[in-house]
Amino acid sequence: MKQNSEFHEAEITVYCGENARINTQESLKQAFGIVDSGNGNVLFVNTVFSTRKLYELARRICGSVEHDGLHYRQVVMGDLHKYFSEFQELIAVENIKTIVINSWEFSNKNYTYKEKALFQLKHYADALGVTVLVYSQAKYACNSGKIAHGGLGKLAVIADEIINIHTNEIEKQERESAISSTRKINNLTYARSDSGVSADGELIQRDKKTVVEEFSSRELMEV
């Protein structure tokens, strides 16, 4: 599973989080990270929180609100598709390379609006070469290329990849735990005796001749 910072350029990637707050936090970190990495300017589209609340989160999580290359746009909840002409003009004027949308559930108030938004997002990625990152509260795993009934809907069809934020975090914690355990094993007494532990946690036996030679060398050094 890929981390949030990894995505394919000029494609549509959907990130699924547990709630709107988590999605806003992750999407803000994502936007700041893209700009800092030098991968072009970012348009951050906020659909759910007030501007004041969004800026409060940005200050707390990222340390600031203003950031060179990062452009915010607050849209009326449910009316995302009405802003696409403005976004397209901004893409050209500000050389926007990535659009981050948070949160998809609050973007379109009805089926017709959602259909228009889907085609526009596809246009951004395919025709304009813009990377589109969409954050959603979908609570179940689904595969890209197939309609997700009751959740992402057709967004799952046009998405090149769907990533579960919660699963990513669990996998990250498991990796860190495994690394920590290996280090602890290497520090145990038996790891410094006539056996050792490799980087991947496998026990390595050393022959007695090597152990004797090492012991003798230590004795000479202590004399």
Residue that is written with structure tokens 């949308």 in the block: 101
pLDDT(96) > 80: yes
pLDDT(5) > 80: no
- Where would I find the H helices in the chain? 20-36, 51-62, 84-93, 111-126, 155-158, 165-186, 208-222
| pLDDT bucket at 223, cuts 50 / 70 / 90 | very low
Indicate the pTM of the whole model: 0.73
Residue predicted with more confidence, 145 or 33: 33
Mean pLDDT within 40-64: 95
What is the amino acid identity at position 192?
Answer: R
Show the tokens assigned to 108.
């379109």
Identify the pLDDT of residue 210. 54
C-beta of residue 160 within 8 angstroms of C-beta of residue 177? no
pLDDT in tens, 106-132: 999 999 999 999 999 999 999 999 999
pLDDT in tens, 149-193: 767 889 999 999 999 987 544 444 444 445 555 555 555 544 444
Identify the pLDDT of residue 149. 74
Task: Single out the residue of 128, 62, 58 nearest to residue 99, CA to CA.
Answer: 128
What is the rounded CA–CA span in Å between residue 15 and residue 100? Answer: 10
